[in-house]
Amino acid sequence: MNNQWYDTFFQGVALDMWRKVATLEMTKGEADFLVQAPQMAPGARVLDVPCGNGRHAIELASRGYNLTGVDISPGFLEEARQSPAAIDWRQSDMRDLPWESAFDAAYCWGNSFGYFPHAEVPGFCQAVGRALKPGARLVIDTGLAAESILPTLQPRRWYQLDDLYLLHETRYLVEESRVQSDYIFLRNGTVDTRTALYSVFTIAELRRVLLDHGSLVVEALYSSLDRQAFTVGSQRLLLVARKEGG
Q: Is residue 83 part of a domain?
A: yes
Burial of residue 81 (CB within 10 Å: 0-12, 13-18, 19+) is middle
Q: What is the pLDDT of residue 44?
A: 98
Specify whether 48 is located in the same domain as 104: yes
Q: Is residue 48 part of a domain?
A: yes
Specify whether 47 is located in the same domain as 153: no
Specify whether 48 is located in the same domain as 152: no
Q: Is residue 1 part of a domain?
A: no
Pick the last residue of a domain from 181, 196, 211: 196
- Whether 141 and 108 have beta carbons less than 8 Å apart is answered as yes
Q: Is residue 131 part of a domain?
A: yes
Q: Is residue 112 part of a domain?
A: yes
Specify whether 107 is located in the same domain as 182: no
Domain with 165 in it? 148-196
Q: What is the pLDDT of residue 82?
A: 93
Burial of residue 18 (CB within 10 Å: 0-12, 13-18, 19+) is middle
Specify whether 237 is located in the same domain as 187: no
Specify whether 165 is located in the same domain as 130: no
Specify whether 113 is located in the same domain as 42: yes
Specify whether 76 is located in the same domain as 63: yes
Helix (H) or strand (E) holding 242: strand 237-243
Q: What is the pLDDT of residue 222?
A: 98
Q: What is the pLDDT of residue 92?
A: 95
- Kindly list the averaged pLDDT for each block of 10 residues, start to end, along the chain of length 246: 82 83 91 96 97 96 98 92 94 96 97 94 98 98 96 93 92 96 94 95 98 98 98 97 91
Specify whether 80 is located in the same domain as 27: yes
When divided into structural domains, the chain yields a total of 2
Q: What is the pLDDT of residue 1?
A: 61
